Structure 1
Amino acid sequence: MSAPVRRAFSGAPWEAKVGYCRALRRGAHVWVTGTVAMDEKGGVFAPGDPQAQARRCFEIIAAALVDVGATLSDIVRTRMFVTDIDHWEAFGRAHGEVFSDHPPATSMIEISRLISPGFLVEIEADAFVDD
């Protein structure tokens, strides 16, 4: 018998339109969808501030993980898609704040743009929850 699937939703407008969830857990494995720094009204959080946007992404990711019974310390892999690699240190500082005690494997990849021009970073995460 396969493990049940648990899903978390953040309320982002694209979830229903595109047909995806913020996080999905099956057994010990958790996958978190690419997450941008959206504010409570659906707009861009901290326009122009790469470190604040990355922090906000991790806040949204953390909430989704809790919804499926996981935590940030369960993350084993992150991928940061950034629109300007020159801000790598700011993105990296935010990542380091979250993962200093349990660093995952990670990638930072520059891309041409995200779904809205104000978003500077989109972060994906994979987690493994030990029983």
Structure 2
Amino acid sequence: MRQLVSSGSPFEGEIGFSRAVRVGNRIEVSGTAPIRDGKTAGVGDCYEQTKAALEIIVKAVEDAGGKAEHIIRTRIFLTDISLWKDAARAHGEIFGQIRPASTFAEIKGLINPEWLVEIEASAQVED
């Protein structure tokens, strides 16, 4: 069974992707930008942007039948790696006890130049 989860992102139809896809016990969450109410959340604030993206990710996992504690991997893409501590602080607030495997990487840019961070996640739902 393949379950598609939408977050209502304006890019889902244009690009042709789902916020998350669940197949069996596995949930994969697409690259998630810091968008709230159709606008960039926390412009210029990597901590707030990371929190916003992680909130969207956790909701997508929940919409697919999982929980935050089922997240086993996160990938954090930053346009400026010097901001990693701000992103790490937000990540730690949500995942400090869960402790998924995680990667922080610097990238050249994202679709919207206001975005400082984009995050992907993988979850494994327990039976």
Shorter-chain TM-score range: over 0.9
Query: Percent identical across equivalent pairs?
Result: 42
2: distance between equivalents of 1:116 and 1:101? 32
Aligned to 1:26: 23
Count of matched residue pairs: 127
Alignment RMSD: 0.6
Equivalent residues in 2 for 1:54-69 (5 A)?
Answer: 54-69=50-65
Aligned to 1:104: 100
Q: TM-score if structure 1 supplies the norm length?
A: 0.95
Which structure has greater strand proportion? 2
Aligned to 1:85: 81
Deviations along 1:69-121, one digit per CA (max 9) or x if unpaired, are 01111010000000000011000001111111110001011001101000000
Equivalent position to 2:6, from 9, 27, 36: 9
Q: Moved runs in structure 1, 4+ residues, more than 6 A?
A: none
2: distance between equivalents of 1:102 and 1:46? 25
1: distance between equivalents of 2:79 and 2:67? 27
